[in-house]
Chain A
Amino acid sequence: MDYSLNLLQPGEKAYIQTVMDKGALRRRMMDMGLVPGAEVEVIRLAPWGGPMQIRVKRYYLAMRLSECAKILVGRN
């Protein structure tokens, strides 16, 4: 079952399936290692709908929830 990254909770892990959208945002996400097959782990969420901190390619990346929504992930 696929869902988007912004729906995950801290502690959950998943694998990236697709990066939607286009243009600068998508390019930036890809450059940072958010490519299909990459494993991501949600570390924490900033309060009041703020950004999400994830671990990808063994480093920490922060993204707004609206940006995380563009990343579709799955369990396998």
Chain B
Amino acid sequence: MGTMKIALVGNPNVGKSTVFNYLTGLNQQVGNWTGKTVERKAGYFKVEDQDVELVDLPGTYSLTAYSQEEIITREFILAEKPDVVMAILDASNIERNLYLLLQILELTPYVVIGLNMMDLAAASGITISAQKLSHALNLPVIEVIASKGKGIKGFLQEAIHMGQLRDAPQPVKMKYPEELEGKITAIEEKLPEDAVGFPQRWLALKYIEGDQAIEETPSESVKKLLQEWSDSGWNEAKLEMAVTDAKYHFIGTLMPDFVQFDENKGKSWTERLDRWALSSVWGYPILLGILILVFWFSFVASAPLGDLISRFMAWASGITVFLLQAVGAPKVLQNLVQDGIFAGVGAVLGFVPQIWLFFILYAILQDSGYLARAAFLGDRLMQSMGLHGKSFFSFVSGYGCNVAGIMATRTLENPKDRMITILLNPLIPCVPRLGVMSAVVAAFFPGGRGALAMVGLLGLSLFLIAFSSYFFRKTVIRTEKSVFVMELPLYHFPTARNVFYPAWQKTYSFMKRAWTFILVASIIVWTLSSFPAGVTMDQTWAGKLGSALAVIGSPLEFDWRIMVAILFGFTAKETTLSTLGILYGVNVDAPQSIAQAMAGSMTSLQAITFLVVYMLYIPCLATVVTTHKEIGSWRWTGFGVVYNLLLSFGVGWLVLQLGHALGF
């Protein structure tokens, strides 16, 4: 028997990932759909001699052409012709879920239904009989409680059984009102006998709805019909609405057969929790509390783990150097290994605990349903910046680490919204940057003035994000205003599988990509600062490079040391301060001493200028690598880097000029 191809389809938040993770375990292959920025997950396993390829299609509400998820799902079903579609329906949300199901049935009859969340439905007063639903649809329906792993194996068995059937199943046929049926038939008649790969009726419907993603351009006779109808009042908008309306109406007629509603059911857990989580009074404090918790856990509490790794790396470095000495390797090589390779790789690995912890907390927030609440509360602010509420969490995470912030953009459905949020994330100063900033600010502006300076800098970064967002939308990433319309799913307890699998996958994929780049960059940095050997810092290649770059730096009154620090800071921002320390001849690697040394050789205004640039410019190589991975295009990543550099230096220069104009 050949490999059976099965597709998992369903609305977002129905437990599709839960089922997928349960069936595939760690046997998943994660990538991107070709040419898209949506994650593609596939799993391979065997069930009693039958090889199965299970593909997790993105959660989607519909199969029209407006979002990547919709296009991917329907193209997969049409082009790759899975043997069976496992459709997961959320019992507590049955009408809207059936709406998607009807669209799937228009593409293929080989569908098996998994009815999930019966417990949540019952709590909301909704009783569904799987048996009667099966009878009404004339398709197999299996009750499933995905969070507990119940019924999933049976669901899969049923799907495999259908895939092995000879005759096509005959699911219930969707009946449109007379007017529409007439029009559908009229178009069907005008279609070529062998419409390439599309079910005829489906193609006719798509033409009627004015679907934008159909590559088959309608023939002249079809266009003529559509024009006729449009002239008589049945324009595209009206037809589109009629088709959607007909589907929901059809669902309405079926429902009494298998659903019972108990209107007097008491308040559900979701209602009770939302009274606090979304209350005008308590919602924001709760949100703040949760954000602080995430922040603290991921970026502060992880420090001991990060320390452990640093110490391990130092130890490993020591051993390696010792071995190299033992075999008489040249001193240069020893230094390269110690200061170039181990230092660089150590920096990446030091990241891992905080990234991993962050992903775990992020998965908990998302799986439980709370992230949608955060987006609801944060949307007003995001809207004023021309962004979607879902970007809120991404930016807040960016304060901890831009890599985390960028990866938290996955929930954004619109790819342009997503790209803008990703490109703007580096403008949020992450913890390492904040640390350096506060040390320098404290050296130049003691006491209350320091706090004022920090607030001013942070405010500036927020303003620039809003500005950049509008600028992008008007110019390079022209897009309609983002559509907010967002479901607030019922709360449910996150499952371990849904938290730990994705957290590990994301951490691993980050490490895999980042370490090569950072290793190479570290070696380059080390080489530039170590040769020629035995000369003062300004005579090394790095120093000479800094002097050459001082041309760029001089409008901002940056001397060669600052330019070198900025250059090296590109690999990792934390190192900027220690680089400056070396360059200023400070022997202690303590931020305060280094800042004091700086205070001796530049004015407060120059320090502010430096801080503005430092706060804004590309945080680190890891960010660039992650940006590329999430956007999928070097062109756009490059654009982001260039824009960022121009903005940071440009604003720095403006600040300097403003300062001079004010007499500082």
A19 and B389 CA atoms in complex are apart in Å by: 23
What's the tally of chain B residues with a CB closer than 8 Å to chain A? 40
At the interface with chain A, which of B28-36, B93-101, B510-518, B615-623? B93-101
A24 and B70 CA atoms in complex are apart in Å by: 12
A49 and B383 CA atoms in complex are apart in Å by: 10
A27 and B99 CA atoms in complex are apart in Å by: 13
Cβ of A4 within 8 Å of any chain B Cβ, yes or no, is no
Chain A residues proximal to chain B, CB less than 8 Å: 19, 22-33, 35-38, 44, 46-51, 53, 57-64, 67
Interface positions, chain B 372-421, Cβ under 8 Å from A, are: 372, 375-377, 379-380, 383, 389
Q: Assuming the A-B contacts A26-B237, A51-B376, are A31 and B64 also in contact, with contact meaning beta carbons closer than 8 angstroms in the complex?
A: yes
A50 and B244 CA atoms in complex are apart in Å by: 28
CB distance from A66 to the nearest CB of B (A): 8
Cβ of B229 within 8 Å of any chain A Cβ, yes or no, is no
Q: Assuming the A-B contacts A30-B241, A38-B248, A59-B93, are A67 and B99 also in contact, with contact meaning beta carbons closer than 8 angstroms in the complex?
A: no
Further contacts, 19 of them, CB under 8 A, given A60-B490, A62-B376: A19-B241, A24-B66, A30-B245, A31-B99, A33-B95, A33-B99, A33-B248, A35-B244, A36-B245, A46-B376, A58-B93, A58-B126, A60-B270, A62-B372, A62-B379, A62-B484, A62-B486, A63-B484, A64-B379
Interface positions, chain B 89-108, Cβ under 8 Å from A, are: 92-96, 99
A23 CB contact (under 8 Å) in B61, B92, B261, B480: B480
On chain B, the residues within 8 Å of A22 by CB distance are 237
Q: 10 closest Cβ contacts across the A-B interface?
A: A50-B380, A31-B62, A60-B488, A24-B66, A57-B95, A30-B244, A64-B484, A35-B245, A59-B93, A47-B280
Chain B residues proximal to chain A, CB less than 8 Å: 61-62, 64, 66, 92-96, 99, 124, 126, 237, 240-241, 244-245, 248, 261, 270, 278, 280, 283, 372, 375-377, 379-380, 383, 389, 480, 483-490
Contact B244–A61 (Cβ < 8 Å): no
A38 and B283 CA atoms in complex are apart in Å by: 29
A50 and B392 CA atoms in complex are apart in Å by: 13
On chain A, the residues within 8 Å of B377 by CB distance are 46, 50
On chain B, the residues within 8 Å of A53 by CB distance are 278, 376, 488
A19 to chain B: closest residue by CB: B241
On chain A, the residues within 8 Å of B94 by CB distance are 58
B483 CB contact (under 8 Å) in A19, A25, A61: A25
On chain A, the residues within 8 Å of B126 by CB distance are 58
Contact A27–B488 (Cβ < 8 Å): no
On chain B, the residues within 8 Å of A28 by CB distance are 61, 66, 483, 485
On chain B, the residues within 8 Å of A27 by CB distance are 62, 64, 66, 240
B95 to chain A: closest residue by CB: A57
On chain A, the residues within 8 Å of B241 by CB distance are 19, 30, 35-36
